[in-house]
Amino acid sequence: MEPLKVGLIGLGTVASGVASVLNKNQVDITRRITRTPIIEKVFVRTLERDNPYQLNLTTNIDEIIHNHDIDIVIELIGGIEPALTYIKTALANGKSVITANKELIAIHGNELLQLAADNDVFLRFEASVAGGIPILKVLREGLAANSIDSVMGIINGTSNYILTEMSDKGADFAECLKEAQALGYAEADPTFDIKGIDAAHKLTILASSAFGIPLDFKALHIEGIDTITKEDIKISHQEGFAIKHLGIARHSEQGVELRVQPTLVPLTHAFANVNGVLNGLFIQGNAVGEQFLSGRGAGSEATASAIIADLIEIIHNEKAQYSAPALGYKVNNLSPLPILPKPAFSSNYYLSFKYLENTDTQAVSMQLESLASKTLNAPFEIKLYKENQRVIILCEKTIEESVEKLLNNAMLIEGIEETKLIRIEKF
């Protein structure tokens, strides 16, 4: 059989990993497929650069996306433009496309999936969620017999690294962010990671794949880790919880909850042991029950592993009559579900009330307890952490509207300086 000719767009961290893994695993990969993939050409901005795999470089994008000799395009430059135009052109020209670009898929994925279907080609993006962990394939194929109740994940390695360091060293957020940047685990501009935006792009894709709903990034509620303090981590730990940044997509009778947020998880749950830059995913299917996956959510070769798996799948399906679309549902069979607004969220809660020095702590506690009994509509425990100048309320499952009422009214109590809500997942 003729080799399958691949055009790479970009030659950064992940693209170099693709070249490296194809090279070192050539024998194993070839044994699995009928056509051997070869990197025919790579689009780069300049030819004056390292080229350890001696790839055929070009600065003319048309030599990839308009080249009849190229069968499959792998986009690895990231961001919206020019990646969007390049991918659209490649699909329209009848080439299958693989990308790791979560931002692009979360925001423009519906349109691109339709374009791929219209042109009878594949669009695959396994590497866009949780790097090397094949979660989309698991949802699309392995769990295809299930109705998925929920999928949750630690899906941003940078946030997980920072929270792990804060917890291990009892250090501040700012200090750990600086260290992550020095080690290359956080970008110079860390906004997408620490504000939860990167995780939200990934959860958008996960939710579509889990529930068969269109990609809808705007529907998500997004919170980052930048509001978490070392005191929150210490107190949570004393109460039996770790703080993790989770993406949560949950299907209930009322609709779908889609949120990325710092979350208290029991120290005994598998999530609490996913540390450093690792990712973890927890899925509940109505036939299979609970499943947990963890591993490298980023990195050159780990991410390349997911990209090459997409490549192999495309080769396998080339001649097939039917192959499952990327999200596992037929493009014209995605159906919207009601996305619940924040006041309708239902969760357990950790509520923290910081008070000023020299406050009458007994008086503040009593007022908070009385307010909580009137507003929360759920059992709760109230605790005083004098050394941290905080009153903590741990509340059983209730709707967020009640909790918001409590937090707003608590600010009127004399001596209360700051309130904070962190949701708890008890599993």
Ligand X SMILES: NC(=O)c1ccc[n+]([C@@H]2O[C@H](COP(=O)([O-])OP(=O)(O)OC[C@H]3O[C@@H](n4cnc5c(N)ncnc54)[C@H](OP(=O)(O)O)[C@@H]3O)[C@@H](O)[C@H]2O)c1
First to last CA, the chain: 50
Q: Does 127 bind ligand X (CB under 6 A)?
A: yes
Q: Does 158 bind ligand X (CB under 6 A)?
A: no
Q: Does 347 bind ligand X (CB under 6 A)?
A: no
Closest approach, Cβ 84 to ligand X, in A, equals: 11
Select which of 5, 41, 202, 420 is catalytic. Answer: 202
Q: From the list 8, 72, 77, 309, which residue makes contact with ligand X (rule: CB under 6 A)?
A: 77
CA 304, CA 310: separation in Å to the nearest integer?
10
> For residue 90, which of 119, 114, 58, 55 has the smallest C-alpha distance?
119
Beta-strand relationship, 221-222 and 241-252: unpaired
Closest approach, Cβ 300 to ligand X, in A, equals: 7
User: CA 356, 361, 364, 368 torsion: positive or negative?
Assistant: positive
Q: From the list 3, 82, 276, 343, which residue makes contact with ligand X (rule: CB under 6 A)?
A: 82
Q: Choose the binding region for ligand X from 96-104, 139-147, 236-244, 259-267 (rule: CB under 6 A).
A: 96-104
Query: How many residues sit in the footprint of ligand X (CB under 6 A)?
Result: 19
Q: Hey, which bits of 100-235 come out as E strands?
A: 123-124, 148-154, 221-222
| 95 classed as catalytic | no
- What is the DSSP code (8-state) at residue 141? I
Contact indicator for 372, 382 with CB cutoff of 8 Å = yes
Q: State the binding string over 288-317 for ligand X (x if CB under 6 A, else -).
A: ----------xx---x--------------
Phi then psi for residue 395, to 5 deg, are -115, 140
Q: Hey, which bits of 44-170 come out as E strands?
A: 57-58, 72-75, 96-99, 123-124, 148-154
Nearer of residues 264 and 304 to ligand X, judged by Cβ = 304
Which residues does 82 contact at the CB level (< 8 Å), separation at least 6?
61
Closest approach, Cβ 13 to ligand X, in A, equals: 4
Structure-token pair, residue 422: 């962190």
Residue 335: exposed, middle, or buried by beta-carbon count in 10 A (0-12, 13-18, 19+)? exposed
Residue whose pair of structure tokens reads 């009593």 in the numeric block: 366
Nearer of residues 101 and 419 to ligand X, judged by Cβ = 101
Nearer of residues 298 and 393 to ligand X, judged by Cβ = 298
Nearer of residues 27 and 47 to ligand X, judged by Cβ = 47
Structure-token pair, residue 272: 């609490």
Using CB under 6 A as the binding rule, the residues of this chain from 20 to 49 that contact ligand X are: 45
Q: Choose the binding region for ligand X from 4-12, 216-224, 312-320, 387-395 (rule: CB under 6 A).
A: 4-12
Q: From the list 97, 100, 123, 274, which residue makes contact with ligand X (rule: CB under 6 A)?
A: 100
Closest approach, Cβ 129 to ligand X, in A, equals: 8
CA 242, CA 223: separation in Å to the nearest integer?
17
CA 37, CA 332: separation in Å to the nearest integer?
31
Q: Choose the binding region for ligand X from 6-14, 228-236, 275-283, 324-332 (rule: CB under 6 A).
A: 6-14
Closest approach, Cβ 131 to ligand X, in A, equals: 5
Would you please indicate which residues are annotated as catalytic (active-site) residues? 202
- Positions touching ligand X (CB under 6 A) are 10-15, 45, 76-78, 82, 100-102, 127, 131, 298-299, 303
